[in-house]
Structure 1
Amino acid sequence: MGSVQKEIATLNSLAARISELAAKMTKQLEAENVPAVTLEANSPIKYERLPGDVFMTRQLLEDAMKDLWILSQGPSESVFNYVHMAIPDASALNILNQFDFWNAVPVDGSAATFEQIAKHTKLPVDVVTRVLEHAVTMRFFTKPSPTATSVRHTSRSAALAKDPGLSALVQMVLDETGPPMFLLPEALRRFSMGQPHLTRNMKETAFKLCHSGGAWGDYENSWEFIENDGEGSQKGWRQRNFVKFMAYIKDLFGTEGIVLDAIDWQGAGDVTVVDLGGSAGHDDAILAAKFPNLKIVVQDLPEVASVFEKEFPSNLRSRVSFLTHNMFDPQPVAADIYMLKWILHDWPDAESVKILQALRPALKPGARVVFIDYVGKQEATGASSGAEEEQLPRSIQGFGTATDLRMMALFNAEERPVEAWKSVFKRADERFDVVRVKADPLSFMCVLEAVWRG
Structure 2
Amino acid sequence: MSSLSRVHHLSETIARDTGVVERYLKSNDLPTPTLDATSLWSIPIADDAVDVKQARLSVIEACSELQALMTGPKELLHFSYTAYVSVKAVLRFKLDKSFPVGSETNFQQMSEFSGLNVMNVKRIVRHAIMNHRFFQEETPGIITHSALTAVLAQDELARNALIVELDEFWPAGVKAADALEKWPNSEECNQTGFSLANNSDKGMYDILAANPDRGERFGMYFSQADEPSHLLLENFPWADQKTVVDVGGSHGSVAITIAENFPQVACIVQDLPDTAAEGSARLPKHLQDRVSFMAHDFFTEQPVAADVYYFRSIFHNWADKYCIKILQNLTPALKPGAKIVIHERILPSLDTLSTADARRAINMDIGVLQLLNAQQREMHEWPELFRRADARYQFLGAKKPDGAIRWIIEAEWRG
CA contact (8 A) 1:36 1:44 kept: no
Question: Which residue does 2:82 correspond to in 1?
Answer: 88
Give matches, 1:32-431, under 5 Å. Answer: 37-48=33-44, 49-50=46-47, 51-80=49-78, 83-84=79-80, 87-107=81-101, 109-114=102-107, 117=110, 126-137=119-130, 138-148=132-142, 151-192=143-184, 198-211=185-198, 213=199, 218-229=200-211, 236-248=212-224, 250=225, 252-254=226-228, 256-268=229-241, 271-305=242-276, 308=279, 312-378=283-349, 389-390=350-351, 392-431=353-392
CA contact (8 A) 1:59 1:396 kept: no
CA contact (8 A) 1:219 1:225 kept: no
RMSD: 3.1
Counterpart secondary structure, 1:370: strand
Could you tell which deviates more after superposition, 129-138 or 351-360? Answer: 129-138
CA contact (8 A) 1:247 1:282 kept: no
Matching residue's letter, 1:376: L
Q: Give unmatched runs, 5+ long, in structure 1.
A: 193-197, 230-235, 379-388
Distance of 1:124 and 1:331 partners within structure 2: 58
Could you tell which deviates more after superposition, 321-330 or 24-33? Answer: 24-33
Matching residue's letter, 1:110: S
Counterpart secondary structure, 1:273: strand
After superposition, the C-alpha distances for 1:188-238 in whole angstroms (9 at most, x for unaligned) are 33343xxxxx34344543333333x3xxxx253222223332xxxxxx233
* Alpha-carbon distance change, 361 to 161 in structure 1, aligned in 2, over 3 angstroms: farther
- 1:179, CA displacement in angstroms? 1.4
**TM-score normalised according to structure 1 size:** 0.79
- 1:46, CA displacement in angstroms? 2.0
- 1:343, CA displacement in angstroms? 0.8
Distance of 2:285 and 2:87 partners within structure 1: 37
- 1:22, CA displacement in angstroms? 1.0
Distance of 2:113 and 2:230 partners within structure 1: 39
* Alpha-carbon distance change, 154 to 307 in structure 1, aligned in 2, over 3 angstroms: farther
Matching residue's letter, 1:396: D
Distance of 1:91 and 1:13 partners within structure 2: 36
Distance of 1:122 and 1:302 partners within structure 2: 41
Distance of 1:311 and 1:163 partners within structure 2: 23
* Alpha-carbon distance change, 420 to 441 in structure 1, aligned in 2, over 3 angstroms: farther
- 1:392, CA displacement in angstroms? 4.0
Distance of 1:41 and 1:72 partners within structure 2: 30
- 1:128, CA displacement in angstroms? 4.0
2:14 to 18, 21, 37: 18
Could you tell which deviates more after superposition, 162-171 or 363-372? Answer: 162-171
- 1:273, CA displacement in angstroms? 1.8
- 1:65, CA displacement in angstroms? 0.9
Counterpart secondary structure, 1:331: coil
Distance of 1:180 and 1:12 partners within structure 2: 40
Distance of 2:283 and 2:86 partners within structure 1: 35
- 1:70, CA displacement in angstroms? 2.4
* Alpha-carbon distance change, 304 to 134 in structure 1, aligned in 2, over 3 angstroms: farther
- 1:21, CA displacement in angstroms? 1.7
Could you tell which deviates more after superposition, 161-170 or 58-67? Answer: 161-170
- 1:114, CA displacement in angstroms? 4.8
2:409 to 436, 445, 448: 448
Matching residue's letter, 1:206: G
* Alpha-carbon distance change, 169 to 362 in structure 1, aligned in 2, over 3 angstroms: farther
- 1:260, CA displacement in angstroms? 1.4
Distance of 1:339 and 1:226 partners within structure 2: 25
Distance of 1:266 and 1:92 partners within structure 2: 52
Distance of 2:317 and 2:361 partners within structure 1: 13
Q: Give unmatched runs, 5+ long, in structure 2.
A: none
Matching residue's letter, 2:206: E
Matching residue's letter, 2:52: V
Distance of 2:84 and 2:216 partners within structure 1: 23
- 1:410, CA displacement in angstroms? 2.5
* Alpha-carbon distance change, 8 to 359 in structure 1, aligned in 2, over 3 angstroms: same
Counterpart secondary structure, 2:292: strand
* Alpha-carbon distance change, 92 to 324 in structure 1, aligned in 2, over 3 angstroms: farther
Counterpart secondary structure, 2:84: helix
Distance of 2:209 and 2:286 partners within structure 1: 29
* Alpha-carbon distance change, 190 to 153 in structure 1, aligned in 2, over 3 angstroms: same
Percent identical pairs in the alignment equals 29
Aligned residue pair count? 412
